[in-house]
């Protein structure tokens, strides 16, 4: 991680644990918002007006949090408005790494983007990051914020085909997001990175409680709130699409696969078939990335499988 702007030791997935030995995720540190007129958003400072070509998105295809924003960029038709860089899937000793020097800032590692924004920054250099090319700084590194601002912060520059946070469902969206995040989105990480049996058992139970709840909620529905795709569907999908390939085995959340849940499996494929979403999913990146985490997989062996119906068929070797 970064300590006062200096890279310290090799990258480790767990930077903090609670009293039970449970995984504690770092709080995002840059919380400004892009808005149509440059006024301040819900957090942070003003000065980040929507402009074509001004902003750049840094993502990793293995990362569910980053993939939320990549899907949002696509669904809102912002591909020509916001440029994008994709880091390598494998985690290096210095964290996320670019295959070639980053064309925006000339960086080799993601942590260099953070120190360019704040030379004294401390913490992990995570993705996604929304970068302001005009001011030379990070706008925001919280995926939930970025997804919301992609939905409404770019005004007429964005497509109105999808409203990912419709006013009629906002209270329900917020409530279901708050339920899904600790139990499922972060629950798989709490299980995979647990340092005690108790912490693992609690996370494992939460993951499958959430999956069972979503399986029931999707009965007779196309999406979680009926026929309209919302940000909650994106937040659920990015975990579901990685589950059988990585979390089920490597993270030890192995009671069931998504393929064993009829409604969830059909729902995952339904979201995958929304135009533009499939292009944001790379199962080979996902497997290479997660199985490069040495604390979970010291020998770095990437499994050939699994076959994931409708999504991924491993090549025979």
Q: Do residues 235 and 185 lie in contact, with contact meaning Cβ atoms separated by under 8 Å?
A: yes
Active site residue 189: yes
Q: Give the total residue count for the chain.
A: 317
Tokens of 230: 């919302």
The CA distance from 265 to 208, in Å, is 15
Residues forming a β-bridge with 17: 23
**Residue whose structure tokens are 């009629």:** 168
CB contact at 8 A, 50 and 34: yes
Q: How far apart are CA 130 and CA 148, in angstroms?
A: 12
**Inter-residue contact 259 to 309 (CB < 8 Å):** yes
Listed in order, strand segments (DSSP E) in 133-291 are 137-140
Residue from 109, 162, 189, 312 carrying the catalytic annotation: 189
Q: Tell me which of 55, 63, 204, 290 is the catalytic residue.
A: 63
What does the buried/exposed string (b/e) look like for 87-120 if buried means 16 or more CB atoms within 10 Å of the residue's CB?
Answer: bbbbbeebbbbbeeebeebebebbbbbbbbbeee
Task: Examine the residue annotation and report whether 109 is marked as an active-site residue of this protein.
Answer: no
The single residue listed with the structure tokens 């808005």 is 35
Instruction: Give dist(CA 85, CA 215) in Å, integer.
Output: 35
CB 288 within 8 A of CB 304: no
Query: Would you please indicate which residues are annotated as catalytic (active-site) residues?
Result: 63, 189
């Amino acid at each position: 991680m970064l300590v006062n702007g200096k890279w310290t030791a090799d990258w480790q997935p767990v930077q903090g644990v609670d009293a039970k030995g449970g995984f504690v995720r770092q709080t995002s540190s840059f919380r400004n918002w892009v808005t149509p007129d440059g006024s301040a958003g819900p957090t942070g400072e003003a000065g980040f007006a929507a402009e074509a070509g001004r902003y750049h998105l840094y993502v990793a295809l293995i990362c569910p949090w980053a993939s939320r924003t990549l899907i949002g960029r696509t669904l809102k038709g912002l591909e020509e408005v916001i440029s994008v860089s994709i880091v390598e899937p494998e985690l290096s000793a210095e964290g996320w790494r670019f295959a070639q020097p980053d064309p925006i800032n000339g960086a080799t590692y993601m942590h260099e983007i953070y120190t360019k924004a704040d030379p004294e920054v401390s913490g992990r250099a995570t993705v996604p990051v929304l970068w302001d090319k005009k001011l030379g700084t990070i706008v925001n590194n919280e995926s939930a914020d970025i997804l919301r601002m992609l939905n409404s912060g770019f005004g007429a520059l964005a497509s109105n085909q999808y409203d990912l946070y419709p006013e009629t469902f906002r209270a329900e969206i917020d409530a279901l997001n708050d339920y899904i995040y600790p139990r499922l989105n972060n629950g798989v990480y709490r299980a995979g990175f647990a340092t005690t049996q108790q912490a693992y058992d609690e996370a494992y139970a939460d993951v499958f409680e959430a999956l069972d709840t979503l399986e029931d909620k999707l009965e007779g529905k196309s999406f979680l709130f009926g026929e309209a795709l919302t940000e909650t569907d994106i937040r659920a999908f990015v975990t579901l699409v990685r589950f059988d390939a990585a979390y089920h085995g490597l993270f030890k959340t192995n009671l069931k696969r998504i393929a064993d849940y009829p409604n969830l499996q059909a729902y995952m494929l339904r979201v995958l078939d929304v135009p533009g979403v499939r292009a944001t999913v790379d199962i080979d990146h996902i497997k290479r990335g997660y199985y490069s985490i040495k604390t979970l997989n010291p020998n770095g062996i990437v499994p050939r499988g699994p076959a994931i119906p409708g999504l991924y068929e491993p090549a025979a070797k």
